[in-house]
Amino acid sequence: MTDITTYITTEEARFMDELFSLLRLPSISAESAHRNDMRATAERWQQLLREAGVDRAEIVETPGHPIVCAEYTVSADAPTVLIYGHYDVMPVEPLDLWQTDPFEPVVRDGRIWARGADDDKGQSFIQLKAFEYLRRRGELRHNVKFILEGEEEIGSPHLSGFLHSHKERLGCDVILVSDTSMLSAELPSLTTGLRGLAYWEVEVTGPNRDLHSGHFGGAVANPINVLCEMLARMTDAEGRITIPHFYDDVEDLSETERAMIASIPFDEEKYKAAIGVDALRGESGYSTIERNACRPSFDVCGIWGGYTGEGAKTVLPSKAYAKVSTRLVPHQQHERISQLFADYFKQMAPPCVKVEVRPMHGGQGYVCPIDHPAYRAAEQGFAEAFGKRPLAVRRGGSIPIISDFEQTLGVKTILMGFGLESNAIHSPNENFPLDMLRKGIAAVVGFHRHYDEVCAQA
């Protein structure tokens, strides 16, 4: 049998047929009208997994959309790699901004254009085809399991329960996920850290009803004014979060890590231009990449209160609300931070208002040590496919399922993502470069081979 590059070239027409068959299914998990499409997509995955050579593939029911599970066993004693992906996609609105039908994939300018082309049908397909190649060659020395869930885009409400109730069956040594992005096509990178998250809704109540701002204004505290004052006090002039003990568990960045970050090519002017701002702002003493990936942040994600309609209406409202979040770094416990914030927010409220804090959501940060055997295997796979060693980068986002995996299954996840900023995931005209698809498959093939090597050496 041929090498992977030749294999991809020879089989590409079939690959496209298969991937397009997935992309044509409008598996929008958020929209109940697509319930049947969800099941059809799960069934299509089941079929493709079987064709790729798994021992068994089945559809496991959940209270929501089903999860596709498959496994290929070399031996009970062999190490096991669990591959996670998701078969659901984001809604496609606004439809009029799409150049072509989001569910009729086309190849144009060397890219596949369709909803899910990257996130996560295209990226999961990379995993499938790398497995198929090695399986057909009989090369694999470790077991491979797949889970493909159908609710990632709606917050994976049933994944955690599934992990708990299928702990035995999902037993593995490492998890492999292709659902993240690289710095750029020329800067292959592996994501080694993610930020955690704590999220609250706060409610500030002033008077017991909306008041006439003429009759009461100046004498009665306005809850919007008070909310603004309280939120303004959450960060100081240095851009540091003022919650007491917030930084207790925040590790200083090592000089090595700071040097590595500083070595990432980064053009601040381009970055500003891309998002249309004249100036950046963040914690004093840290670079932009450190700020958005390795340091905590405090963002008001939403705010509302009083009159928000057209024109002018005077009112001294009864209530004001905000949705508030912090991104956390590894070692910060989101439950502890959640409590610290709630205590602080309540304590800082002046006596003229009442406040409520509702914790909404939380997730731990994640770090993958770069000396993890599977990380080293991934690094080598990337190096072979892209011709250069990938950078190890921490990213600012949060993928709560990754810390769920660690907490429930006790294993680390390797984030071998092949996305690019220009792929427009979650947006109109989502796309995936064919070149990334090909290099991705090669990189994952390399991962499996090198993983066998490091396991054999251990």
- Provide CB contacts within 8 A for 321, sequence distance 6+: 201, 202, 203, 204, 227, 303, 304, 305
Comparison of 362 and 381: residue with beta carbon closer to a second copy: 362
With contacts defined by CB under 8 A, name the span among 54-62, 161-169, 194-202, 429-437 that binds a second copy: 194-202
Residue 189 has a CB neighbour count (10 Å cut-off) of 21
CB of 90 to a second copy, least distance (A): 12
Nearest to 316 by CA among 325, 308, 307: 307
317 is a contact residue toward a second copy (CB under 8 A): yes
> In the complex with a second copy, which residue's Cβ is closer, 48 or 227?
227
218 binds a second copy (CB under 8 A): yes
Q: Which residues contact 83 (CB under 8 A, 6 or more apart)?
A: 124, 127, 131, 144, 145, 146, 147, 175, 176, 177
- Residues touching a second copy: how many (CB under 8 A)? 81
In the complex with a second copy, the residue whose CB is nearer, 73 or 235, is 235
Q: Can you state the angle between helices 121-136 and 4-23, rounded to 10 degrees? A: 140
Phi and psi of 325, rounded to 5°? -140, 150
Give least dist CB 224 to a second copy, A. Answer: 4
Q: Contact region for a second copy (CB under 8 A) — 125-133, 206-214, 252-260, 429-437?
A: 206-214
User: Shortest approach of a second copy to residue 44 CB, angstroms?
Assistant: 29
The answer to whether the Cα torsion of 211, 217, 219, 224 is positive or negative is positive
- Amino acid at residue number 220: V
DSSP β-ladder status, 80-86 and 174-177? parallel
Nearest Cα neighbor of 181 from 384, 421, 436 is 421
Report the site for a second copy in 293-312 (rule: CB under 8 A).
Answer: 295-308, 311-312
Structure token pair of residue 89: 């996609």
- Paired strand residues for 319: 205
Phi, psi of 2 (to 5 degrees): -80, 175
Name the H helices within 53-153. 121-136
Burial 323-343 (b: 16+ CB within 10 A, else e): bbbbbbbbebbbebbbebbbe
Rank residues 166 and 258 by Cβ distance to a second copy and give the closer one. Answer: 258
Please, which residue, 13 or 312, has the CB nearer to a second copy?
312
CB closer to a second copy out of 21 and 318: 318
Listed in sequence order, the residues at least 6 apart from 44 whose beta carbon sits closer than 8 Å to its beta carbon are 21, 22, 25
Integer angstrom CA distances of residue 417 from 139, 181, 289, 373: 23, 5, 19, 18
Among 10, 36, 100, 314, binds a second copy (CB under 8 A): 314
**Contacts with a second copy in 320-339 (CB under 8 A)?**
320-323, 325, 327
Q: Name the one range near a second copy by CB under 8 A: 144-152, 158-166, 209-217, 434-442.
A: 209-217
Least distance CB 220 / a second copy (angstroms): 6
Range list of β-strands (E), 348-389: 354-363, 366-367
Residues 45-74 that bind a second copy (CB under 8 A): none
Residue span 272-291 as binding mask against a second copy, x where in contact by CB under 8 A, dash where not: ---xxxxxxxxx----xx-x
Site string for a second copy, 220-249 (x = CB under 8 A): xxx-xx-xxx-xxx-x--------------
Binding span for a second copy by CB under 8 A among 20-28, 74-82, 318-326, 407-415 = 318-326
CB of 394: closest distance to a second copy in angstroms?
11
Report how far residue 185's alpha carbon sits from residue 416's, in angstroms, rounded to the nearest whole number. 14
Binding mask 360-389 for a second copy (x = CB under 8 A): xx----------------------------
The footprint of a second copy on residues 73-92 (CB under 8 A) is none
Q: Tell me whether residue 135 or residue 361 sits nearer to a second copy (CB atom).
A: 361
72 vs 246 by CB, closer to a second copy: 246
Binding of a second copy by 209 (CB under 8 A)? yes
Pick between residue 79 and residue 363 the one whose CB is nearest to a second copy: 363
Minimum separation from the CB atom of position 2 to a second copy (A): 39
Residues 396 to 455 in contact with a second copy, rule: CB under 8 A = 396-398
Among positions 340-359, residues that touch a second copy (CB under 8 A) are: 350-354
Cα of 100 vs its chain's centroid, Å: 26
| Structure token pair of residue 419 | 């996305």
Binders in 122-151 for a second copy, by CB under 8 A: none
